[in-house]
RNA sequence: GCCAACGUAGCUCAGUGGUAGAGCAGCUCAUUCGUAAUGAGCAGGUCGUGAGUUCAAUCCUCACCGUUGGCUCCA
């Protein structure tokens, strides 16, 4: 009890540190338990992670759920024994001798300078020891709540060229209550899973006949089209033009763009009449052709071309997931062809538009990542220097928080990615803005400058939603399927109490429809209670109930999906109210 | 792609070496009801696909397909 009070009194940083140390300590106890049951298992790494920890073991068979139970029991004994964590220092070379039979530990040590001291940490009276950076609790008994969650294969250092290790995930908390809260939170988040809601709300489904390719039902299509309509409004404001381009192209194009060399594993190819075609995974080469189809002047720049063309990417079978990673997708894609000097202005205005859009959906938990030059790249160092400075200054002056990742940029240019978390906190890349120094070279794009010289434009790839499918997926989870009025597939349902009210209800429906409101009349012979329940389950924003009183007075009894009953209003009043709310996107 | 689990009616799920059930949804009939489920009846499945073992496979074995979770928040 004293501990719990103490934990509450810690600063957020101290709390985080406490949890990290406890989770890392739990990883040690886990490792001990595994080596007891599976003596051949080799230790590798076991860091604390958000909400828990994991440990990777080499030289062992995959763990079964049964194994996990046994391991958890073994851990319990170790924690009950409440032994001390003891750290000892050695020289790196001494440590190498100790772990010589474990190639993973050897590799870790080889990454540490020879003159540095390293630490080992033991517990259980020295019966278990592990090479370890440090950061533990005082005693094993300080691990107040823990639970093993799952086992999975994981490559050493995340590289599939390396051996596959067996990983065990667990969670650990400062108290049983905290752990309970966490597990409850996960359970709640699973209810928001967009795949479940997509089925329940009749938005989309999947079928093995087209793996990882969603079929959007009418209701899902309404939402997607609303997303597109909205972005087209923004394009009007931010001065973009829309274009349309072919779906499949002769392989020559992909050779020229470089996709054949760099991206063909992710492309679908079709042979027709002994010629090979590639289905487009991206729009940029087509847009480059459009640019090239005319001689260009600096007066035309920047050109902003948006394309809602359908793309196909042959994602590896193990990585597809619901709507968040699909093989058939549409992006709110656009390419900006501009001068090098215009880059700053273009990206700044794009980020402004993106923030405006995300605010409209109520996202407030997205993050930015700036990816800087990789080792393998095209373009001069001078170009990279300038471009990176422009992006960095933009982000700094915007006040938006971001992380800079050295070496993570594309070979063709630096980029800023925007990530949005799903219900379970997994990040998905949605928005992106990428500079491209390569495409203009490959397609030999030029414009006539003011002085008559021929100059190379820069291409900016950019999207706010990214894939509309993915964006819809995270949006559904963000909203728990409760779409605001402007996005709701069905905005209102008219509920006649008895058959004799049906005619009036249909008249009401016609009036709302004429005003452009998506409305349905529920004239099934269910009872009113059942109709309301149905509308609630479908998360329909408004229920317009009509009985004798309403027909008599020519009004509507308006119920919201939050269960609130508004004052009776006329059809005209209700229409006006809805239209206003739709326009406000509130 | 790799590791693991899973795949039974439209959906959610039971179930057994002797060719399958429930709830919801659907359809029919009755009911006409004031803010989250009216009642009765009917219909619905080559148990993911293909092989194999067996007298007999939805169940056991193998392969394939698909889905789900995981595959650097580094000693």
- The domain locations on chain A are 2-191, 196-242+298-479, 492-584
Q: Which of residues 526-545 of A touch strand B (CB under 7 A)?
A: 526-530, 532-533, 536-537, 543, 545
In this complex, the nucleotide whose C1' atom is nearest to the CA atom of residue A207 is B66
Q: Give the helix ranges, DSSP H, for A400-501.
A: 439-442, 468-479
Chain mean pLDDT for chain A:
94
Q: Which CATH class is domain A196-242+298-479?
A: alpha beta
Residues present in chain A in total: 586
From CA A107, how far away is CA A99, in angstroms rounded? 10
On the question of pLDDT at A3 being above 70, the answer is no
Among protein residues, the one whose C-alpha sits closest to the C1' atom of B48 is: A208
pLDDT 10s digits, A206-243: 999 999 999 999 999 999 999 999 999 999 999 999 99
Task: Answer for the pair A214, A204: CB distance below 8 angstroms, yes or no.
Answer: yes
On the question of pLDDT at A9 being above 90, the answer is no
On the question of pLDDT at A67 being above 50, the answer is yes
Q: Which CATH class is domain A492-584?
A: alpha beta
In this complex, the nucleotide whose C1' atom is nearest to the CA atom of residue A536 is B36
Confidence band for A73, pLDDT divided at 50, 70 and 90: very high
| A352 Cβ within 7 A of any nucleic strand B atom | no
Task: Answer for the pair A28, A132: CB distance below 8 angstroms, yes or no.
Answer: yes
User: Is A455 considered catalytic here?
Assistant: no
Q: What are phi and psi of A10, to 5 degrees?
A: -70, 155
Strands (E), A225-349: 241-242, 248-250, 269-272, 275-279, 303-307, 310-312, 328-330, 333-338
In this complex, the nucleotide whose C1' atom is nearest to the CA atom of residue A158 is B72
Q: Which of residues 160-179 of A touch strand B (CB under 7 A)?
A: 160, 164, 166-167, 169
Q: Which candidate in A51, A123, A167, A284 is catalytic?
A: A284
| A279 Cβ within 7 A of any nucleic strand B atom | no
Parallel, antiparallel or unpaired: strands A333-338 and A458-463: antiparallel
Strand B nucleotides within 7 Å of a protein CB: 1-5, 7, 11-12, 29-38, 65-75
| A180 Cβ within 7 A of any nucleic strand B atom | no
Percentage of chain A exceeding pLDDT 70: 99
| A45 Cβ within 7 A of any nucleic strand B atom | yes
- Work out the average pLDDT over A372-387: 88
Q: By C-alpha distance, which of A560, A491, A500 is closest to A532? A: A560
| A345 Cβ within 7 A of any nucleic strand B atom | no
- Work out the average pLDDT over A534-548: 97
- Give the residue, A24 or A377, on which the prediction is more confident: A24
- Work out the average pLDDT over A165-192: 94
The predicted structure's pLDDT at residue A233: 97
pLDDT 10s digits, A497-528: 999 999 999 999 999 999 999 999 999 999 99
User: Is A121 considered catalytic here?
Assistant: no
Other CB atoms within 10 A of residue A223 CB: 21
pLDDT 10s digits, A88-125: 999 999 999 999 999 999 999 999 999 999 999 999 99
- Work out the average pLDDT over A144-163: 94
Confidence band for A65, pLDDT divided at 50, 70 and 90: confident
Q: Which of residues 314-343 of A touch strand B (CB under 7 A)?
A: 316-322
The predicted structure's pLDDT at residue A74: 95
Q: Which candidate in A24, A415, A501, A520 is catalytic?
A: A415
Q: What is the CA radius of gyration of chain A?
A: 29
User: Is A333 considered catalytic here?
Assistant: yes
Q: Which candidate in A136, A194, A219, A313 is catalytic?
A: A313
From CA A470, how far away is CA A331, in angstroms rounded? 9
Q: What is the CATH number of domain A2-191?
A: 3.30.980.10
Distance A358 CA to B47 C1' (A): 46
Confidence band for A5, pLDDT divided at 50, 70 and 90: low
Q: Who's near A383: CB < 8 A, 6+ residues apart?
A: A340, A437
The predicted structure's pLDDT at residue A2: 44
| A497 Cβ within 7 A of any nucleic strand B atom | yes
In this complex, the nucleotide whose C1' atom is nearest to the CA atom of residue A134 is B75
Task: Answer for the pair A276, A255: CB distance below 8 angstroms, yes or no.
Answer: no
Q: What is the DSSP string of A262-278?
A: HTGGG--EEEETTEEEE
Q: Which of residues 98-137 of A touch strand B (CB under 7 A)?
A: 105, 108-109, 111-112, 116, 118-119, 130-133
The predicted structure's pLDDT at residue A375: 86
| A153 Cβ within 7 A of any nucleic strand B atom | yes
User: Is A506 considered catalytic here?
Assistant: no
In this complex, the nucleotide whose C1' atom is nearest to the CA atom of residue A155 is B71
C-alpha distances (whole Å) from A371 to each of A93, A209, A366 are 37, 37, 16
* Equal fold, A196-242+298-479 vs A492-584: no
Confidence band for A1, pLDDT divided at 50, 70 and 90: very low
């Amino acid at each position: 009890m004293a501990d719990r009070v103490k934990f509450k009194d810690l600063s957020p940083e101290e709390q985080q540190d406490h949890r990290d140390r406890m989770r890392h300590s739990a990883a040690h106890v886990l490792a001990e338990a595994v080596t007891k049951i599976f003596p051949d298992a080799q230790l590798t790494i076991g860091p604390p992670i958000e909400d828990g920890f994991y440990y990777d073991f080499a030289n062992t068979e995959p763990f079964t759920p049964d194994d996990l139970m046994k391991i958890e029991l073994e851990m319990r004994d170790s924690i009950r024994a409440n032994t001390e964590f003891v750290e000892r220092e050695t020289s790196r070379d001494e440590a190498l001798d100790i772990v010589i039979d474990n190639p993973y530990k050897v590799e870790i040590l080889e990454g540490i300078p020879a003159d540095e001291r390293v630490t080992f940490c033991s517990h259980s009276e020295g019966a278990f020891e592990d090479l370890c950076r440090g950061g533990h609790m005082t005693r094993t008994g300080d691990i107040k709540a823990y639970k093993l969650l799952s086992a999975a294969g994981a490559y050493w250092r995340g590289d599939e060229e390396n051996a596959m290790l067996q990983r065990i995930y667990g969670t650990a908390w400062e108290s049983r209550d905290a752990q309970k809260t966490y597990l409850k939170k996960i359970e709640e988040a699973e209810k928001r899973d967009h795949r479940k809601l997509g089925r329940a709300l009749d938005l989309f489904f999947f079928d093995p006949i087209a793996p990882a390719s969603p079929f959007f039902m009418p209701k899902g299509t309404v939402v997607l089209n609303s997303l597109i309509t909205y972005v087209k409004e923004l394009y009007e404001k931010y001065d973009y033009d829309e274009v349309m381009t072919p779906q499949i192209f002769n392989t020559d194009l992909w050779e020229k763009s470089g996709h054949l060399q760099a991206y063909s594993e992710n492309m679908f190819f079709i042979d027709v009449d002994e010629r090979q075609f590639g289905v487009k995974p991206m729009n940029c080469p087509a847009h480059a052709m459009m640019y090239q189809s005319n001689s260009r002047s600096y007066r035309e720049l920047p050109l902003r071309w948006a394309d809602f063309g359908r793309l196909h990417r042959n994602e590896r079978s193990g990585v597809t997931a619901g709507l968040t990673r699909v093989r058939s997708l549409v992006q709110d894609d656009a390419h900006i062809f501009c001068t090098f000097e215009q880059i700053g202005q273009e990206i700044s205005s794009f980020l402004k538009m993106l923030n405006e859009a995300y605010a409209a959906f109520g996202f407030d938990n997205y993050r930015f990542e700036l990816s800087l030059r990789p080792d393998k790249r095209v373009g001069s160092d001078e170009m990279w220097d300038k471009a990176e400075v422009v992006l960095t200054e933009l982000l700094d002056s915007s006040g938006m928080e971001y992380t800079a990742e050295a070496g993570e940029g594309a070979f063709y240019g630096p980029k800023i990615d925007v990530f949005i978390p799903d219900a379970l906190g997994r990040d998905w890349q949605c928005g992106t803005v990428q500079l491209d120094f390569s495409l203009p070279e490959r397609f030999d794009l030029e414009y006539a400058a003011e002085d008559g010289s021929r100059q190379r434009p820069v291409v900016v790839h950019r999207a706010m939603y990214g894939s509309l499918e993915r964006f819809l997926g995270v949006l559904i989870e963000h909203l728990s399927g409760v779409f605001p009025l402007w996005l709701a597939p069905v905005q209102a349902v008219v509920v006649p109490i008895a058959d004799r009210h049906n005619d009036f209800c249909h008249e009401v429906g016609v009036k709302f429809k004429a005003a452009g409101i998506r409305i349905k009349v529920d004239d099934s012979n269910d009872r009113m209670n059942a109709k309301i329940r149905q509308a609630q389950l479908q998360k329909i924003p408004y229920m317009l109930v009509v009985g004798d009183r309403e027909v008599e007075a020519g009004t509507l009894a308006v119920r919201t999906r939050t269960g609130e009953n508004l004052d009776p209003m006329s059809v005209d009043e209700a229409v006006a109210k809805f239209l206003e709310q739709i326009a406000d996107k509130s």
